[in-house]
Protein backbone atom coordinates (compact mmCIF):
# COMPACT_ATOMS: atom_id res chain seq x y z
CA UNK A 1 0.00 0.00 0.00
CA UNK A 2 1.23 3.49 -0.82
CA UNK A 3 1.05 5.64 2.27
CA UNK A 4 1.77 9.17 3.32
CA UNK A 5 3.18 9.78 6.76
CA UNK A 6 0.56 7.59 8.49
CA UNK A 7 2.43 4.30 8.39
CA UNK A 8 2.10 0.69 9.68
CA UNK A 9 -1.00 -0.17 7.69
CA UNK A 10 -1.65 -3.77 6.83
CA UNK A 11 -5.19 -3.75 5.49
CA UNK A 12 -6.71 -2.98 2.14
CA UNK A 13 -8.03 0.48 1.40
CA UNK A 14 -10.79 0.82 -1.23
CA UNK A 15 -12.50 4.13 -1.99
CA UNK A 16 -15.78 4.57 -3.86
CA UNK A 17 -16.28 7.69 -5.94
CA UNK A 18 -18.79 9.20 -8.33
CA UNK A 19 -21.17 12.07 -8.89
CA UNK A 20 -24.21 12.48 -6.64
CA UNK A 21 -26.72 9.76 -7.48
CA UNK A 22 -24.05 7.44 -8.95
CA UNK A 23 -25.02 4.64 -6.55
CA UNK A 24 -21.63 4.48 -4.81
CA UNK A 25 -23.13 4.36 -1.30
CA UNK A 26 -25.39 1.46 -2.26
CA UNK A 27 -22.48 -0.38 -3.87
CA UNK A 28 -20.14 0.25 -0.94
CA UNK A 29 -22.80 -1.17 1.40
CA UNK A 30 -23.33 -4.21 -0.86
CA UNK A 31 -19.59 -4.92 -0.96
CA UNK A 32 -19.42 -4.50 2.82
CA UNK A 33 -22.24 -7.03 3.32
CA UNK A 34 -20.68 -9.44 0.84
CA UNK A 35 -17.18 -9.33 2.34
CA UNK A 36 -18.55 -9.76 5.85
CA UNK A 37 -20.66 -12.71 4.75
CA UNK A 38 -17.54 -14.50 3.46
CA UNK A 39 -15.61 -13.76 6.65
CA UNK A 40 -13.45 -10.73 5.88
CA UNK A 41 -12.95 -8.15 8.63
CA UNK A 42 -14.28 -5.01 6.98
CA UNK A 43 -15.08 -1.42 7.93
CA UNK A 44 -17.44 0.82 5.99
CA UNK A 45 -17.07 4.56 6.36
CA UNK A 46 -18.09 7.65 4.43
CA UNK A 47 -16.97 11.25 4.07
CA UNK A 48 -17.83 13.77 5.19
CA UNK A 49 -18.94 13.18 8.76
CA UNK A 50 -18.40 9.58 9.83
CA UNK A 51 -16.46 10.09 13.07
CA UNK A 52 -17.45 10.86 16.67
CA UNK A 53 -18.53 14.47 16.12
CA UNK A 54 -18.58 14.42 12.36
CA UNK A 55 -22.33 14.94 11.96
CA UNK A 56 -21.94 18.59 12.96
CA UNK A 57 -19.23 19.12 10.36
CA UNK A 58 -21.27 17.30 7.71
CA UNK A 59 -24.23 19.54 8.44
CA UNK A 60 -22.12 22.70 8.10
CA UNK A 61 -20.57 21.41 4.87
CA UNK A 62 -23.83 20.39 3.23
CA UNK A 63 -26.16 23.09 4.55
CA UNK A 64 -24.05 25.88 6.06
CA UNK A 65 -23.94 29.45 4.79
CA UNK A 66 -20.20 29.57 4.09
CA UNK A 67 -18.76 32.89 2.92
CA UNK A 68 -15.00 32.47 2.56
CA UNK A 69 -13.97 30.66 -0.62
CA UNK A 70 -11.56 28.31 1.14
CA UNK A 71 -13.69 27.28 4.15
CA UNK A 72 -15.35 24.41 2.30
CA UNK A 73 -12.01 22.97 1.15
CA UNK A 74 -10.42 23.17 4.59
CA UNK A 75 -13.46 21.67 6.32
CA UNK A 76 -13.42 18.68 3.97
CA UNK A 77 -9.71 18.21 4.74
CA UNK A 78 -10.28 18.58 8.49
CA UNK A 79 -13.10 16.06 8.32
CA UNK A 80 -10.75 13.62 6.54
CA UNK A 81 -8.04 14.10 9.18
CA UNK A 82 -10.48 13.00 11.89
CA UNK A 83 -11.97 10.15 9.85
CA UNK A 84 -8.46 8.86 9.17
CA UNK A 85 -7.38 9.11 12.80
CA UNK A 86 -10.57 7.76 14.34
CA UNK A 87 -11.73 5.17 11.79
CA UNK A 88 -9.60 4.44 8.72
CA UNK A 89 -6.07 4.14 10.13
CA UNK A 90 -7.05 2.04 13.18
CA UNK A 91 -9.03 -0.35 10.93
CA UNK A 92 -6.20 -0.66 8.41
CA UNK A 93 -3.74 -1.24 11.24
CA UNK A 94 -5.88 -4.16 12.40
CA UNK A 95 -5.55 -5.59 8.89
CA UNK A 96 -9.15 -4.88 7.85
CA UNK A 97 -10.56 -4.05 4.46
CA UNK A 98 -11.69 -0.42 4.62
CA UNK A 99 -14.39 0.76 2.22
CA UNK A 100 -14.62 4.54 2.10
CA UNK A 101 -17.62 6.17 0.42
CA UNK A 102 -15.89 9.30 -1.02
CA UNK A 103 -12.32 10.28 -0.28
CA UNK A 104 -9.59 12.47 -1.83
CA UNK A 105 -10.86 12.19 -5.42
CA UNK A 106 -14.11 13.86 -4.32
CA UNK A 107 -12.06 16.83 -3.10
CA UNK A 108 -10.21 16.95 -6.42
CA UNK A 109 -13.41 16.60 -8.46
CA UNK A 110 -15.58 19.03 -6.44
CA UNK A 111 -13.14 21.58 -5.03
CA UNK A 112 -10.55 21.56 -7.86
CA UNK A 113 -12.46 20.77 -11.07
CA UNK A 114 -15.72 22.14 -9.64
CA UNK A 115 -14.66 25.20 -7.64
CA UNK A 116 -11.40 25.92 -9.45
CA UNK A 117 -8.70 25.25 -6.85
CA UNK A 118 -5.34 24.23 -8.23
CA UNK A 119 -5.05 20.45 -8.31
CA UNK A 120 -1.32 20.23 -7.58
CA UNK A 121 -1.68 22.60 -4.62
CA UNK A 122 -4.54 20.58 -3.13
CA UNK A 123 -2.64 17.34 -3.70
CA UNK A 124 0.30 18.83 -1.86
CA UNK A 125 -2.08 19.52 1.06
CA UNK A 126 -3.05 15.81 0.97
CA UNK A 127 0.63 14.92 1.11
CA UNK A 128 1.34 17.44 3.88
CA UNK A 129 -1.60 16.01 5.86
CA UNK A 130 -0.26 12.45 5.39
CA UNK A 131 -3.38 11.12 3.69
CA UNK A 132 -2.80 7.53 2.56
CA UNK A 133 -3.52 6.76 -1.08
CA UNK A 134 -6.20 4.08 -1.57
CA UNK A 135 -5.08 0.73 -3.00
CA UNK A 136 -7.89 1.03 -5.49
CA UNK A 137 -10.64 3.51 -6.26
CA UNK A 138 -13.90 2.33 -7.81
CA UNK A 139 -15.41 5.18 -9.80
CA UNK A 140 -19.06 4.62 -10.67
CA UNK A 141 -19.87 6.36 -13.89
CA UNK A 142 -23.38 7.45 -14.88
CA UNK A 143 -24.63 10.01 -17.40
CA UNK A 144 -25.57 13.48 -16.20
CA UNK A 145 -29.20 12.82 -17.20
CA UNK A 146 -29.24 9.70 -15.03
CA UNK A 147 -27.62 11.56 -12.13
CA UNK A 148 -30.23 14.34 -12.36
CA UNK A 149 -33.12 11.94 -12.57
CA UNK A 150 -31.87 9.90 -9.57
CA UNK A 151 -31.43 13.10 -7.53
CA UNK A 152 -34.92 14.27 -8.48
CA UNK A 153 -36.21 10.89 -7.34
CA UNK A 154 -34.68 11.52 -3.90
CA UNK A 155 -36.67 14.74 -3.55
CA UNK A 156 -34.17 16.89 -1.62
CA UNK A 157 -30.80 18.24 -2.60
CA UNK A 158 -28.05 19.82 -0.53
CA UNK A 159 -26.00 22.98 -1.15
CA UNK A 160 -23.59 21.23 -3.54
CA UNK A 161 -26.08 18.99 -5.35
CA UNK A 162 -28.37 21.89 -6.21
CA UNK A 163 -25.59 23.66 -8.15
CA UNK A 164 -26.01 22.20 -11.67
CA UNK A 165 -23.01 23.91 -13.24
CA UNK A 166 -20.83 22.55 -10.41
CA UNK A 167 -22.23 19.06 -11.05
CA UNK A 168 -21.30 19.10 -14.71
CA UNK A 169 -17.72 20.22 -13.93
CA UNK A 170 -17.48 17.52 -11.25
CA UNK A 171 -18.55 14.85 -13.71
CA UNK A 172 -15.84 15.91 -16.20
CA UNK A 173 -13.40 16.14 -13.29
CA UNK A 174 -13.90 12.51 -12.29
CA UNK A 175 -13.29 11.45 -15.92
CA UNK A 176 -10.12 13.44 -16.03
CA UNK A 177 -8.93 11.95 -12.72
CA UNK A 178 -9.42 8.45 -14.09
CA UNK A 179 -7.16 9.38 -17.03
CA UNK A 180 -4.60 10.88 -14.65
CA UNK A 181 -4.49 7.84 -12.34
CA UNK A 182 -5.30 4.85 -14.58
CA UNK A 183 -3.49 2.36 -12.31
CA UNK A 184 -5.49 3.31 -9.24
CA UNK A 185 -8.89 4.43 -10.51
CA UNK A 186 -11.08 1.71 -11.96
CA UNK A 187 -14.02 3.20 -13.82
CA UNK A 188 -17.21 1.10 -13.74
CA UNK A 189 -20.52 1.49 -15.52
CA UNK A 190 -22.94 2.58 -12.78
CA UNK A 191 -26.10 2.35 -14.88
CA UNK A 192 -28.57 -0.49 -14.49
CA UNK A 193 -30.10 -2.04 -11.40
CA UNK A 194 -28.00 -2.31 -8.20
CA UNK A 195 -27.46 -6.09 -8.55
CA UNK A 196 -26.18 -5.69 -12.09
CA UNK A 197 -23.81 -2.89 -11.01
CA UNK A 198 -22.69 -4.97 -8.04
CA UNK A 199 -21.64 -7.82 -10.34
CA UNK A 200 -19.29 -5.31 -12.03
CA UNK A 201 -17.97 -4.12 -8.67
CA UNK A 202 -17.29 -7.66 -7.50
CA UNK A 203 -15.67 -8.65 -10.77
CA UNK A 204 -13.32 -5.65 -10.51
CA UNK A 205 -12.43 -6.30 -6.87
CA UNK A 206 -11.80 -10.01 -7.48
CA UNK A 207 -9.72 -9.27 -10.58
CA UNK A 208 -7.56 -6.80 -8.72
CA UNK A 209 -7.10 -8.47 -5.34
CA UNK A 210 -7.97 -12.13 -5.33
- The residue among 67 and 207 lying less far from ligand TMP, judged by its C-beta, is 67
Q: Where are the alpha helices (DSSP H) in the chain?
A: 24-37, 54-63, 71-83, 89-93, 104-106, 119-129, 144-154, 164-180, 194-209
Q: How far is the CB of 202 from ligand TMP (least distance, A)?
A: 21
Q: Does 110 bind ligand TMP (CB under 6 A)?
A: yes
Binding mask 36-75 for ligand TMP (x = CB under 6 A): ----------xxx---------------------------
If residue 139 lies in a helix (H) or strand (E), which one and from where to where? strand 136-141
Q: What is the signed CA dihedral for 161, 118, 47, 90, rounded to 10 degrees? A: 180
Among 103-111, 141-149, 172-180, 186-194, the segment contacting ligand TMP (CB under 6 A): 103-111
Among 86-94, 101-109, 119-127, 202-210, the segment contacting ligand TMP (CB under 6 A): 101-109
Burial class for 148, CB neighbours closer than 10 Å (0-12, 13-18, 19+): middle
Q: Does 106 bind ligand TMP (CB under 6 A)?
A: yes
Q: Does 161 bind ligand TMP (CB under 6 A)?
A: yes
Of these, 76, 117, 174, 198, which contacts ligand TMP (CB under 6 A)?
Answer: 76
Of these, 14, 16, 20, 50, which contacts ligand TMP (CB under 6 A)?
Answer: 20
Q: DSSP 3-state assignment of 203?
A: helix
- The residue among 107 and 141 lying less far from ligand TMP, judged by its C-beta, is 107
Rounded to whole angstroms, how far apart are CA atoms 31 and 81? 24
Report how many residues bind ligand TMP under the rule CB under 6 A. Answer: 12
Task: Starting at the earlier edge strand, list the strands of the sheet with 97-101.
Answer: 42-46, 97-101, 12-17, 136-141, 185-189
Residues written for the chain: 210
Site for ligand TMP, rule CB under 6 A: 20, 46-48, 76, 102, 106-107, 110-111, 160-161
Amino acid sequence: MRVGSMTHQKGLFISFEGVDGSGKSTQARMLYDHLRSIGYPVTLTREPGDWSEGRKLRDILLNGDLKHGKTELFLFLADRCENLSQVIIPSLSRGEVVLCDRYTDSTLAYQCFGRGFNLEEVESLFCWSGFPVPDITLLLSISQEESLSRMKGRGTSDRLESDLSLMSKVSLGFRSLSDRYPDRICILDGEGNPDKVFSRVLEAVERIFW
